[in-house]
Amino acid sequence: MNWKDAPWQSGATRTARQAYHARQRATAVGLPASLTTNEWRAAIEAFGSRCAFCEQPLDRIYLVFRDPAAGATHDNCIPSCNRCQRRHREENQ
């Protein structure tokens, strides 16, 4: 693990914590876990800080695995609002 991504690092942002927890989630079930904080930040920017599903601007960003079986990689992690991430999770269970 890159020490700069450690959530306990001073100045760590919510973005860094989310990337870290996404990697933990993926690793726990044996999936790829390559997402870096910068990649996650870039993904949020690519979506214009909007929900990838309903496109509303996000106050609070949730990290969603586009394909739950593909792990924490830069092209599988997308920003979502709370409502859409819950629906996405239910649909993929």
Q: What kind and span of H or E run contains 16?
A: helix 14-28
Scanning 1-9, 42-50, 51-59, 71-79 for contacts with Zn ion by CB under 5 A, the matching segment is 51-59
Return the residue of 51, 61, 64, 78 that touches Zn ion, per CB under 5 A: 51
Instruction: Decide if residue 44 touches Zn ion (CB under 5 A).
Output: no
Does position 84 bind Zn ion by CB under 5 A? Answer: yes
Q: How far is CA 65 from the centre of its chain?
A: 7
Report how far residue 49's alpha carbon sits from residue 42's, in angstroms, rounded to the nearest whole number.
10
Binding site for Zn ion (CB under 5 A): 51, 53-54, 81, 84
